[in-house]
Structure 1
Amino acid sequence: MGTDLHDDRLTRLRATLTEDFAAQTARLTELTADTGDPGEAHTRAALIAATRQSLGQIGDALRRMADGGYGRCQRCAGPIPVERLEALPHATFCVPCQQKHG
């Protein structure tokens, strides 16, 4: 893993990401159902875009878990603190790099 993540924490994070992925997938299915209300089309489109972005971030985090890159900053390659990952499981940057990047 390359970080100080303990197996139980990693298991919890994986479970959280998996549950979030399932919830976001269900939300996307619901949002893409045609309600027939043209007044909601703009809002629904924005929600769909945000949900797809969230699904992408979660999917990327699950892939990093599978390939061993999870918990490493994608900019400096340093470890991302476990506390940050618990708060934001799909984090790709450590806090200093996020502040510079973001």
Structure 2
Amino acid sequence: MGTDIRAERDQQRLAQLRASLSTEFEAQSARLTELTADTGDPGEAHTRAALIAATRQSLGQLGDALRRIAEGRYGSCERCATAIPPERLAVLPHARFCVPCQRRQG
């Protein structure tokens, strides 16, 4: 019975995470749309380009995390396949590697 309750809690946690990541993905998509609108101000071009690059990177990370959730691979290190600690995922929900592998990835 304890295993069933734990599995149900894990499923609820993943559903909440999926909803949170989806909301963030939508917000970042809207931000990217705003950033790519040409304001005609050449003084903002460099800053705008940096913001666009950062937003695209964030969208990629969020999309990858959502895909891993859908495929049932979320929370497992892509290099060594061990479980990524929940504390790491709480801080960095799009983490692809455990800390030791991330350090080696460098």
TM-score between both structures, scaled by the size of structure 1: 0.90
| Aligned: 1:28 with 2:22 | no
**Structure 1 range deviating more: 17-26 or 5-14:** 5-14
Q: Which stretches in structure 2 are left out of the alignment for 5+ residues?
A: 1-6
| Aligned: 1:87 with 2:87 | no
Pick the structure with greater CA Rg: 2
> Secondary structure of 1:53's match?
helix
> Secondary structure of 1:6's match?
helix
- How many residue pairs get aligned? The number is 99
Q: Which has the higher helix share?
A: 2
Q: In the alignment, what sits opposite 1:67? A: 71
The aligned amino acid for 1:68 is: G
Distance 1:48 1:61 in 2: 20
Q: Which has the higher contact order (CA 8 A, sep 6+)?
A: 1
1:1-102 to 2 correspondences below 5 Å: 6-102=10-106
The aligned amino acid for 1:34 is: D
Deviations 1:55-100 (A, max 9, x none): 0111011111111111110111111112211211111001111122
Q: Which stretches in structure 1 are left out of the alignment for 5+ residues?
A: none
The aligned amino acid for 2:37 is: A
Shift of 1:101: 1.3
Confirm or deny: 8 A CA contact 1:73 1:94 kept in the other structure. yes
RMSD after superposition:
1.4
TM-score between both structures, scaled by the size of structure 2: 0.87
Once superposed, which parts of structure 1, at least 4 consecutive aligned residues long, lie more than 2 Å away?
none
Distance 1:23 1:90 in 2: 16
